[in-house]
Amino acid sequence: DAGITQSPRHKVTETGTPVTLRCHQTENHRYMYWYRQDPGHGLRLIHYSYGVKDTDKGEVSDGYSVSRSKTEDFLLTLESATSSQTSVYFCAISVRPGGEETQYFGPGTRLLVL
């Protein structure tokens, strides 16, 4: 257990509304990531953070923004949700036992955009 929680776990929203998903970690890890999971695509990186206020884009960042004002929280925002953003969203943290980086994942948030 990497001490990662995600909220909400399930959300239904309507097209055009803003949505914010929260990832919380309890162990002060520097690196945090947001992925989306869709059938046939595995997981794809949306954004990641390498410290407070330090973020960068991933493979599928269009339509998403992130913020990290505290080490423990990494927020993912859909400014105006679209049906194509219906997905399962996973947060991950990175740890480096012995210098070998490994990512551990939260339980996921299932988002349905109607």
Partner 1 sequence: AQSVTQLGSHVSVSEGALVLLRCNYSSSVPPYLFWYVQYPNQGLQLLLKYTSAATLVKGINGFEAEFKKSETSFHLTKPSAHMSDAAEYFCAVSRSSGSARQLTFGSGTQLTVLP
Instruction: Using the rule CB under 8 A, give the single segment among 19-27, 60-68, 75-83, 95-103 that binds partner 1.
Output: 95-103
> What's the rounded Cα separation, in Å, for the pair 69 and 39?
32
Q: How many residues bind partner 1 (CB under 8 A)?
A: 23
What value does the CA radius of gyration of the chain take, rounded to a whole number of Å?
A: 13
> What's the rounded Cα separation, in Å, for the pair 43 and 58?
12
**37, 9, 25, 42: which is closest to 93 by C-alpha?**
25
Q: C-alpha distances in angstroms, 89 versus 26, 97, 114?
A: 19, 25, 17
Q: With binding defined as CB under 8 A, does residue 61 bind partner 1?
A: no
Q: With binding defined as CB under 8 A, does residue 62 bind partner 1?
A: no
Q: With binding defined as CB under 8 A, does residue 52 bind partner 1?
A: no
Instruction: Using the rule CB under 8 A, give the single segment among 19-27, 70-78, 79-87, 97-105 that binds partner 1.
Output: 97-105
Minimum distance of partner 1 from residue 68's CB (angstroms): 13
CA angle 77, 57, 105 (to 5 degrees): 70
Per-residue contact flags (x/-) with partner 1 for residues 23 to 42, judged by CB under 8 A: --------x-x------xxx
Binding site for partner 1 (CB under 8 A): 31, 33, 40-45, 48, 50, 56, 58, 90, 94, 100-108
